[in-house]
Each structure stands twice: as structure tokens, then as C-alpha cells.
Amino acid sequence: MSDQQNPQPEKEGVYLRQIRSFVKREGRLTKGQARAIEANWPSMGLSVDNGMLDFSQVFGRQAPVVLEIGFGMGKSLVEMAAAEPDKDFIGIEVHRPGIGACLADAEAAGIKNLRVFEHDAVEVLAQCIPDASLARMQLYFPDPWHKSRHHKRRIVQPEFAQKVRQKLAIGGVWHMATDWENYAEHMLEVMSQAEGYKNQSASQDYVPRPDFRPLTKFEQRGHRLGHGVWDLMFERIA
Ligand SMILES: C[S@@+](CC[C@H](N)C(=O)[O-])C[C@H]1O[C@@H](n2cnc3c(N)ncnc32)[C@H](O)[C@@H]1O
């Protein structure tokens, strides 16, 4: 649904267009992606219409929960879920071919500890994720919105940092990575000023890529283009 079809009333007679961190691309589904969605959505798909989640009900056990926003084609998310079977993973993506690719990979890997939403992560956080419930939040290579006039669309903003903090357990970590230096600096600035977080970097800036994060497609491309990659890890302390 476009923003214009779904105006947000601010007060009577005044409608604001909500600023979103993505533009919905109507990419075509491959046959394989369509099949993977049909076959796996019943067991792995989550819907905002079902409201607040009870993780132990969703996964049938109690385990630390990791949430990833904007998993793209889901390759690294599936790898991580397979590599950490003691944790449960929830991925959120708005790009339908990405949902299909992720479910196809998850099926091939035979993993049972992954669920996905096809929806705006900002709304999923607010409507479906209990407060203080997440062990880790992952945001890898978010859309950088290069032009200054688009910077307001970047998902990492002071207000969003507090929405994430609300959902992390105390001691939970928000892990970000980007290959766009200006966005890395923006993330560091926002997070250094955000209340209730501690930077896990000894030098109070970036951390080396932790072993649990595989190289993503975007990152491999970044390496080929000679870009750097910046990882940031901030722990919820209050
Ligand atoms: C540049 S891609 C990176 C994908 C992947 N993380 C990787 O590293 O390969 C950013 C992704 O975030 C998704 N995205 C952006 N804003 C989002 C939001 N508010 N909710 C869910 N997904 C979002 C986009 O659809 C896109 O697939």
C-alpha cells in the first residue's frame, strides 16, 4: 500500500506522509521463490495482524531471540540461524523476492529456528515485539540514502535508536554494519548520543567484524569496489 493510500492523520483534516526507510520495488518473483513462499509461509511466516508475539509459543521453546531488519535475500541470516541453533531468529524484509529467496535457503538448510515478516520493520517492532525481549538486533548494510536531502529516510535516527532500546533486553546488543562511510559516521554520532547504550568498541567507535556475522552480498560487492566496512555494536545498559 502506498503512503498516499494510507495517510497518517496527525490531527483532524491534516494528513502527513510517513517517511519510510525503503521504496517498495515490485521485483518479479522467480518460480522458485514463489514455490518457497507457498510451501514455507505456513510454518515460517509471521503477520502483523496477529499482534504481539509470544516467542516461546512461536518457536516452541525458550531461547535468546535475534531480530534482523532488512535481510535482503536472507543468505547471511539463514547462515547465522544455522550456525547458532541455540538461538531463535526473526527476519523482517519488505522485498518479496527476498522473502522467497530466504525461505528457499531456510528450507534447503533444514533450519527450524527462523521466522520472517514481510512488512515495515518500524511497524513490526511497535506492534509485534515485546519490550526488553531481544538478545540481539541486526541491521546490516541498510539503504544508505546517499543524497543529503534523503538522509531523513535513513533508518538509524535518534528516535529509532530508542525504539530499538525498548525492545532489547538489558545486556542485549544492537549490531550495525555499513559500507558507506558517511552512514557509519552518522550511526556513530546517533548512537554515541543515544541514552541507555554503551559502545562495545574499546576506542569508542567501530568494532572488528564479529565472527558470527558472515560476509553479505552487499559487503562482498563493497570489497570489490575497494570500500571499507564499518561494524558498530552498542549494548543496552539501561
Ligand atoms: C541495501 S539492502 C541490504 C540487504 C542485506 N542486509 C545485505 O546486507 O545484503 C537493505 C534492505 O533493507 C530493506 N529495508 C529497508 N527498510 C526496511 C524496513 N523499514 N523494514 C524492512 N525492511 C527494510 C530493503 O528492502 C532492502 O532489502
What was the pLDDT predicted at 221? 74
Phi–psi pair at 56, nearest 5 degrees: -70, -30
Q: Is 168 exposed, middle or buried (0-12, 13-18, 19+ CB in 10 A)?
A: buried
120 is catalytic: no
If you measure from the C-alpha of residue 143 to the centroid of ligand 1, how many angstroms do you get, rounded to a whole number?
Answer: 6
Task: Band the pLDDT of 222: cuts 50, 70, 90.
Answer: low
Which of 131, 143, 211, 231 is catalytic? The answer is 143
pLDDT at 228 over 70: yes
| Residue nearest atom 13 of ligand 1, based on CA coordinates | 70
| Residue nearest atom 14 of ligand 1, based on CA coordinates | 70
* Residues framing ligand 1 (Cβ under 6 A): 21-22, 69-72, 92-95, 98, 120-122, 140-143, 155, 216-218
Say how far apart CA 233 and CA 67 lie, in whole Å.
Answer: 14
- Write down the mean pLDDT value for the chain: 91
Average pLDDT of span 154-169: 98
If you measure from the C-alpha of residue 27 to the centroid of ligand 1, how many angstroms do you get, rounded to a whole number?
Answer: 14
pLDDT above 90 coverage of the chain, percent:
83
pLDDT at 5 over 50: no
pTM > 0.85: yes
pLDDT at 12 over 70: no
Task: Band the pLDDT of 4: cuts 50, 70, 90.
Answer: very low
Instruction: Give the number of C-alpha atoms closer than 13 A to the C-alpha of residue 156, restricted to the C-beta side.
Output: 29
Q: Quick count: other Cβ atoms within 10 Å of Cβ 144?
A: 18
